[in-house]
Structure 1
């Protein structure tokens, strides 16, 4: 066994949260650890569904605890050498507090997996964060690399957890030595990272989100910027200089930290300090002695936000010497992902769009920005204590009918009614009623759009279920 695995050899691991990430940690590391205890506060968690075909029963070094019991938690903490928290587990849950009080190291799965990568593997990592656009960008980067003949996998907050890409003697897989890992990283994952240091970091944008968890926008922004905290002059950071918050924070960081990564800047405008910029349906780039233009005319990715996403995807490819023609071909063939301004068709003389992935106000602002005043907008969902004031100001320019659903409906209704608005507002108790109302009030040739600006968990399992329900309801009208 390689020396890096001494980190967990003969250790007792406590895994908190048995969703996809927690289960992956157990499956990957059970044969390497002295023991693993997995704990989840859901007493009705279906372990057979969670573990799938993995033989979790009859393992002497695996213990699973379901349900919340503080006395059990106190007992479990006594034997733990290292605690791994799943992304959905916040600091304020009792068992995490107990671990911290007992000075037991608490890491995210991202931190653990990072430390189990070899130095060579760490040098082939690209990590992407941002409030919006992460999944589109990591998917496009992965496609660019794989289409060019490179061996690349997209992982992290989308698809496989990073831990699943680790090769171990006891759990070998087909992942090759030259694998490039493109990692989507959320603020939740970054909470418990300490040595995570991607070779190329990409920061897309930072706007208000997850304030219910992080309490303030400043806390949230600082977590996003942890992505480059450990990087040095041998690394690269790709940043969006159209984002004023990112610009301000990078300048402040550079005044405090001498050993910064090389900064690659992208912008929608041809600014003097931009390494990539957009002009006349082309992306111009000048990075590390390489320069050129990439034609994006005819790309399926529409809207200015997607031009930014394309630039953020081109930069790592240029840095890692991907052929320009290959990059261009992939971009032109790449189609938008489901639930991201997904065009559903011209139904009952109305253009219908599923943008269920817009789970914060800024994402919805971006979604409606490329339309005229023609939108019937279905909006609302779980309240994450976000600031809707900026979005409310934009609605008057783009929206003819606002249909509100979910937990946030009363709050958004109050903000809209208190603004100078000229659109009609409807509140619906069910999702089905909202879609029905949308078809009733949208005019011929106009737009019916689901772009909730909120998370989905008040009414649905996740944004995918919400988007799928919308698609089914809309397409049933054909």
Structure 2
């Protein structure tokens, strides 16, 4: 069988690899030519006889894969058995044509649509909630398939569709990114949805919280949905949902947890509520959550000298506020966002409001430290400001402040934060 993968972002590259691993022939294409193909290096495409360059396009070719950069061969796309589109292309004419032709991969492969499917969406806490629920369900004897936005560290949407064809699963758990709501709504048949929260992120896409809230409302139609009982927009969901038996609420989990914070108690509350709805025994839920450990990249706490170091991806102002509301930090280390994500610089406003003695900026998703410095100056922060350009400099500043009570490390750049976590674990193990 042959598939076209259109759009070679993170999702498209993961889809390309998954299709090849499943013995498909693949035509992969992107209109950009400056695509980083590092993730596909193991496919050994770059030999002289498979590398073609024209004035505006680049073609890489092997026995079972052709990649066009700078050019979409529409005839080749139309000739494929199935088409996998990047979620970012879902509003385009190409997407409409693929859907109308019935060639989208979620229409060509449909076994996943017969499996009970749960979507977890919202601004913050999605990944933690998914893994809490996954462990609960697996401990209750269920075989669970997990996936979501490939950029968030999951197997991507295409991976889920392919895997569901190969194995028998009881439940599919999908982390639904707030930017892929319509895409996911088309690809998967959700039996129920859990909403963690609605907050200030991806405003370059949504433009306003109101727009984002309305997208969630539209996504939740005709589905059973679990909402935080204190959600600001709860009454609007009540008004929009025709059958109120489909609207269920959850609260903070009150049992023992190894993970820190009210926000994680809400994540656990959502996971526990869905598990209870599915008939999982209370003891299984309690034991699972009692032993749940923070996942890679999310909030972890390390002890170094006299300090507790709280570190995890907190890539928007609401995520940062939820932590800073619970504890005072002497120093705050903040990874910077991409240049076009102005709303994510609001993290610095939130940090300044908590009055740390020191703010250390480091390149996160992009090296936009200068923009961060400008924001700190514009809002009048009068504490100490430092810049750490690499991991060694970050560790040096951590060591300097490690005799204070608490240090926060967060912001943008999950890979950087995981790297820091790994170094801190090694240091704390040595100190122990």
Q: Name the TM-score, length of structure 2 as normaliser.
A: 0.77
> 1:50 & 1:465 partners in 2: Cα distance?
26
- Quickly say closer, same or farther: Cα 1:411–1:434, change in 2 above 3 A: same
Displacement of 1:339 in angstroms is 2.5
Displacement of 1:376 in angstroms is 0.8
Between 1:400-409 and 1:328-337, the stretch displaced more is 400-409
Kept in 1, the 8 Å contact 2:148–2:176? The answer is yes
How do 1:278-427 residues align onto structure 2 when only pairs under 5 Å count?
A: 282=254, 296-297=255-256, 299-347=257-305, 349-355=306-312, 357-372=313-328, 374-383=329-338, 384-386=341-343, 388-389=345-346, 392-393=349-350, 395-397=352-354, 399-406=356-363, 407-419=367-379, 421=381, 423-427=383-387
Displacement of 1:409 in angstroms is 3.1
The C-alpha deviation readout for 1:200-256, integer Å capped at 9, x for no partner, is 10010121222344555445444444542352xxxx211123332x426524533xx
The C-alpha deviation readout for 1:371-421, integer Å capped at 9, x for no partner, is 12x331111322322154476245333522111223443344334334464
Kept in 2, the 8 Å contact 1:24–1:161? The answer is no
> Aligned with 2:27: secondary structure?
strand
1:202 aligned to which of 171, 194, 197: 194
Aligned counterpart, 1:266? 250
How do 1:43-442 residues align onto structure 2 when only pairs under 5 Å count?
A: 44-45=37-38, 47=40, 49=42, 62-68=64-70, 70=71, 72-73=72-73, 76-77=76-77, 79=79, 83-87=83-87, 90-91=88-89, 97=92, 99-100=94-95, 103-105=97-99, 112=106, 116-117=110-111, 120-121=114-115, 124-157=116-149, 158-166=153-161, 173=166, 175-176=167-168, 179-195=170-186, 196-231=188-223, 236-244=224-232, 246-247=233-234, 249-251=236-238, 253-254=240-241, 258=242, 262-268=246-252, 282=254, 296-297=255-256, 299-347=257-305, 349-355=306-312, 357-372=313-328, 374-383=329-338, 384-386=341-343, 388-389=345-346, 392-393=349-350, 395-397=352-354, 399-406=356-363, 407-419=367-379, 421=381, 423-440=383-400, 442=401
- Quickly say closer, same or farther: Cα 1:367–1:49, change in 2 above 3 A: farther
Displacement of 1:181 in angstroms is 1.4
1:38 aligned to which of 28, 38, 59: 28
Kept in 2, the 8 Å contact 1:405–1:428? The answer is yes
> 1:46 & 1:450 partners in 2: Cα distance?
28
Aligned counterpart, 2:408? 449
- Quickly say closer, same or farther: Cα 1:304–1:393, change in 2 above 3 A: same
> 1:127 & 1:308 partners in 2: Cα distance?
16
- Quickly say closer, same or farther: Cα 1:359–1:91, change in 2 above 3 A: same
- Quickly say closer, same or farther: Cα 1:471–1:113, change in 2 above 3 A: farther
> Aligned with 2:342: secondary structure?
coil
> 1:110 & 1:252 partners in 2: Cα distance?
34
Displacement of 1:332 in angstroms is 0.7
> 2:320 & 2:258 partners in 1: Cα distance?
19
Aligned counterpart, 2:55? none
> 1:84 & 1:131 partners in 2: Cα distance?
26
Kept in 2, the 8 Å contact 1:201–1:238? The answer is yes
> Aligned with 1:343: secondary structure?
strand
Displacement of 1:131 in angstroms is 1.2
Displacement of 1:366 in angstroms is 1.8
Kept in 1, the 8 Å contact 2:82–2:104? The answer is no
Aligned counterpart, 2:58? none
The C-alpha deviation readout for 1:350-372, integer Å capped at 9, x for no partner, is 322321x2222222222222212
- Quickly say closer, same or farther: Cα 1:163–1:180, change in 2 above 3 A: same
CA RMSD of aligned residues (A): 3.8
Kept in 1, the 8 Å contact 2:348–2:375? The answer is no
- Quickly say closer, same or farther: Cα 1:364–1:393, change in 2 above 3 A: closer
> Aligned with 1:466: secondary structure?
helix
Displacement of 1:172 in angstroms is 6.3
Structure 2 gap ranges (5+):
46-60
Displacement of 1:323 in angstroms is 0.6
- Quickly say closer, same or farther: Cα 1:325–1:24, change in 2 above 3 A: same
> Aligned with 2:315: secondary structure?
coil
- Quickly say closer, same or farther: Cα 1:77–1:176, change in 2 above 3 A: closer
Structure 1 gap ranges (5+):
1-9, 269-277, 283-295, 457-462
> 2:23 & 2:211 partners in 1: Cα distance?
32
